[in-house]
Amino acid sequence: MSAKTPTVAIIGAGPAGLMAAERLSAAGVSVTIYDRMASPARKFLMAGRGGLNLTHSEDLPHLLTRYGAAEARLAPAIAAFPPAAVRDWADGLGQPTFVGSSGRVFPRSLKASPLLRAWLNRLGASGVRLLSRRTWLGWDEAGHPVFRLPDASEETACPDATILALGGASWPRLGADGGWVGVLAARGIAVAPLRPANCGFAVDWTDSFRARFAGQPLKHIALTWDGHSVRGEAVVTDYGIEGGAIYALSAALRDAIEGRGPVSLEVDLRPDMTQAELAARLAKARQRETLANVLRKAANLAPVAINLLREAVGPALPRDPGALAALVKSVPLLLRAPQPLARAISTAGGIGLDALDAHFMLRALPGVFAAGEMLDWEAPTGGYLLQACFATGRAAAEGALHWLGCRRIRTST
């Protein structure tokens, strides 16, 4: 008599869940993915609008430091499916990649949709079933996953193992709304509060500055807070400021604001020049020129940058070249609060990593695994987010395979 094909239910059709499904189906497991949205991987598609940072090209030891306190716990999973493996995987889907000037890795198409389409076709060809519009409610008394259907009826699955890949709670309209927190907390699973990560911050702009400059970039700047400096760009918004350089410091800024209230961020509008060099250039300006023209010509500042100076100290900017250079090199920007989780790029907090064993199985729920952004880790943008989602999804699948193998051994003895 032939052995029964093992079954796994994957709850969540984002990158972690799809990667888990691919690994399991390749091992001969019968896989069904359940997702509450009408179509899969909506946040993944949204990320693709910005070019889709699949991973980063820096060496593995360096890359692992981007995960902060979670580095040691995530290291085995990422080492088992590192950036090179991600690039090979994308190439196998007919989506070759390239390394950008920043070291970020992109598909050559710079879009998520061709890659996702090829990925779903591969999963479908391997027998993976995708059931949409299924909202996970938890487990019944027998420990089976229960789902609510669009007509409000319920259905129950009876898999041999389950992988949770429900995402965080940022951009909830795209699928991940954090609704799983209460379900797991009721089962005694430690869940750190979900908080915004890679987010913008509120700034009290004047009405005139907001109306004129919202949406405009601050290019080639450096941001410094608490001894940490980052070069890059930011964007003025109607609520405050956001962008890559802001996101790189957002975790520390968020924590500081939560702990002691608004913080002052230093903005260097000309990081490529020393203060002395800038002062010398400003001193050569004609006395009759307006300060706006002086800053435009001598410091090469755009109108948004010039007016940022006025937002910081008022309309009367210093005429002294040394004082003006000092201001350009260190504009104080008071950040009031991080943007809400629903507007953040990613989520901090989630299932405590100590609640998982080495195979990404929940210690309190044998046979149930977790992966992706619903775990308690965070990382900056630039490919690190998807890298960890891919790697933990694959690690959870390996864990499920280990579990299923052990169960077969126990059942047959």
Specify the DSSP element, H or E, that contains 90.
helix 83-92
Q: Give CB contacts under 8 A, 24+ apart, made by 241-244.
A: 241/200, 241/201, 241/203, 241/333, 241/335, 242/199, 242/200, 242/201, 242/339, 243/200, 243/217, 243/218, 244/381, 244/382
Q: Whole-angstrom Cα distance, residue 116 to residue 119?
A: 5
Mean pLDDT by 10 residues, the chain (413 residues): 83 98 97 97 86 94 97 98 98 97 94 96 98 97 96 97 97 93 95 97 97 97 95 97 96 96 98 96 83 91 96 91 96 97 96 98 97 97 96 98 77 46
pLDDT number for residue 412: 47
Q: Whole-angstrom Cα distance, residue 143 to residue 159?
A: 10
pLDDT number for residue 246: 96
Helix, strand, coil shares of the chain, percent, nearest 5, are 40, 25, 35
pTM, two decimal places: 0.93
Plot region of 102 (φ>0 → left; ψ -120 to 50 → alpha; else → beta)? alpha
Nearest Cα neighbor of 401 from 128, 145, 29 is 29
pLDDT number for residue 408: 62
Domains and CATH numbers, the chain: 7-195+347-412 (3.50.50.60), 201-338 (no CATH)
Where do we find the tokens 């009876």? 158
pLDDT number for residue 289: 82
Q: What is the token pair recorded at 130?
A: 């995708």
